[in-house]
Every structure is written in C-alpha cells, then in structure tokens.
Amino acid sequence: MTQLERNEKLIRITLAIVAFSAISFLLLITFFIFFDGTPVIVKYWIRNFLFGLDWYPTEKSFGILPMIIGSIEVTIGALVIGIPLGLACSITLTEFSSKRLRQILKPVIELLAGIPSVVYGFIGVVILVPFIRDNFGGPGLSVLAASIILGIMILPTIISISIDSLLAVPKSYREGSIALGATKWQTVVMVIFPAARSGIITSIILGMGRAIGETMAVIMIAGNAINIPRSILDPVRTLTSNIALEVGYSTGEHRQALFATGIILFIIIMVLNSVANVISSKGKR
C-alpha cells in the first residue's frame, strides 16, 4: 500500500468517524427526549395527554390540546402570509428581473434567515402588537401577530429554495413554450411552475417546520394563554412556548410532561422533513 493510499484510507476513516459522531449525537438526543417523556404519556394515557384541555401541572393535569391547536393556527397563518409573498418574490426574481438584480437581492433575502428571532419578536412587540391592538381590538398579543412575524421569518426559506428550483428548470422549456405562442406569464404558470413543483413544495414544508419550531419570537408576541383561540385576535400558547416558559422551574412529572411535549413536536417536525425529502427525491427522478 502506497503512502497516497494510506492517506486516503485515513481520510475515509476520519470522515466516517465524524459522520457517525453526528448521527450518534442525534440518537442520544432522541433517546433522552423519549426516555424522559414517555413515562407521563404511559401513565396518563396518550389520549388524555393529546386531547386534554387543561394544563395544570400542580394538579397533575397534563393536556396539550390547546397548545397543539395554537401551534397549528399560528403555522397556518404564517403559511397564508409567507407562501404568496415568497412565491411571488421568487417568480419575479427568476422570470421577470435581470440576472444582476437577482444576484444582488437573493443574498440579501437569505441574510434575513440569520437575524436572531428575538429581534423579530422585539419588532413585533414594539410595532405590530400596538398596531393590532389599536386598529383591530384585543390585547394585540395574538395569533395574528405571531402569524405575521412567522410569515416574515419563513420567507428566506421559501424564496431561496423556490428560486433554486425555478432556475433548475431547463431553458428549453421556456423557449419551447414561447415558440408555441404562449406569453411570458402563461409560460411561468403552465410550464415553469409545474416543472419546479417538487422543489417549491419542499420549500413550503421546510418553512412550515421552521414556523412550528420557532420559540423566542412566539413567546414575545403570542400572549401565551393556555386556551383554545376562538379568534385570530386571541392570545395563544404553542408547544415550543410551553416548553421554553416552564422548563426552568419544572420538576418531577411536570418536567417529564414537558419532555413528552417535546416528543410530539419532534415527531411533527420529523414527519414534515421526511415528507420534504420524499417530495424532493420524486422531483429529482
């Protein structure tokens, strides 16, 4: 075996160890969450845990249905705001603007993903919450406020991946459609958009995962009331907010119930990521 072959083998072994260590950390985190959270689910039954309406840890009442509904409502609201804006921006930058402008604006948009979530939450508290309270009523800290902020936060994910998906469509598709007499907009809607559908759906699912998993900004502007919201102007508490707000002083079964909440959140996000990977792989094939 030559020195070059020995070096290559050493590099392969090193990379394999690094890769295995990353997977090991993930497995350890998963084991830790399930080990601490499963006892509460087993003791109080998953039906009572998932569909219970009351969260009173001191009285051994652990029902997370209000938080599940709150997370779903906030996420849907974020998608209602983020999907149209994100797709409109990505289509404009890829099909109706110059390459130079796209090269300038795309990195700027991607920088939004690097802004700490607490900054978004602070802007929401200072500007958005008073605006909602003064113009629409309610406390201001609400589903609507959280949805708007999360809708803005998921824009970089949706825009960046959608742009890459649209640019990956072969140029011949555009040329063929134009040659057949279609307008620029008809080409986008009937040819380009369907061809890039898998990548666009993947961006939406990943944005959804970001919205469900967001914590700090939601804590600051959602109101954190443990009630099922009946209006978009009502305060709400999400699964992530519930964990972050109470983990600092929780003990015993209360702490285990928070880990059980983390199990539900973990499963939701894993399902979304798996769906995104399946859709992406189908698009490549």
- Note the pLDDT tens digit of each residue in 86-139: 999 999 988 888 888 888 888 888 888 888 889 999 999 999 999 999 998 888
pLDDT per residue as tens digits for the range 169-204: 888 888 888 888 888 888 888 888 888 888 888 888
> Over pLDDT 90: what percentage of the chain?
27
Confidence bin at 283 (pLDDT 50/70/90) = low
For residue 125, the number of C-alpha atoms closer than 13 Å in the C-beta half-sphere is 14
- Position 271 in a domain: yes
Q: What is the pLDDT of residue 122?
A: 93
- Position 58 in a domain: no
155 and 31 in a common domain? no
Domains held by the chain: number? 2
Q: Region 15-41: what's the mean pLDDT? A: 85
Largest Cα separation within the chain, whole Å, is: 77
**Gap between the Cα atoms of 157 and 154, Å rounded:** 6
278 and 178 in a common domain? yes
43 and 72 in a common domain? no
- Position 87 in a domain: yes
92 and 14 in a common domain? no
Q: What is the pLDDT of residue 284?
A: 56
Q: Region 5-15: what's the mean pLDDT? A: 82
Q: Is the pLDDT of residue 82 over 90?
A: yes
84 and 47 in a common domain? no
For residue 285, the number of C-alpha atoms closer than 13 Å in the C-beta half-sphere is 6
Tokens of 82: 């983020």
- Position 251 in a domain: yes
Q: What is the pLDDT of residue 177?
A: 85
- Position 36 in a domain: yes
Q: Region 238-255: what's the mean pLDDT? A: 88
206 and 228 in a common domain? yes
138 and 257 in a common domain? yes
- Position 99 in a domain: yes
Q: How many angstroms from the chain centroid is the CA of residue 39? A: 28
Domain assignment of residue 45, given as a range:
3-51
Q: What is the pLDDT of residue 280?
A: 65
36 and 71 in a common domain? no
Calculated CA dihedral for residues 258, 216, 53, 130, nearest 10 degrees:
160
pLDDT per residue as tens digits for the range 126-166: 999 999 999 988 888 999 999 999 999 999 999 999 998 99
236 and 111 in a common domain? yes
**Gap between the Cα atoms of 10 and 175, Å rounded:** 49
256 and 130 in a common domain? yes
Q: Is the pLDDT of residue 227 over 60?
A: yes
**Gap between the Cα atoms of 187 and 176, Å rounded:** 9
Q: How many residues does the chain have?
A: 285
108 and 24 in a common domain? no
More confident residue, 275 or 69: 69
153 and 24 in a common domain? no
- Position 253 in a domain: yes
Q: Is the pLDDT of residue 1 over 70?
A: no
Q: What is the pLDDT of residue 86?
A: 92
Residues 6+ apart with CB under 8 A from 181: none
Mean pLDDT of the chain: 87
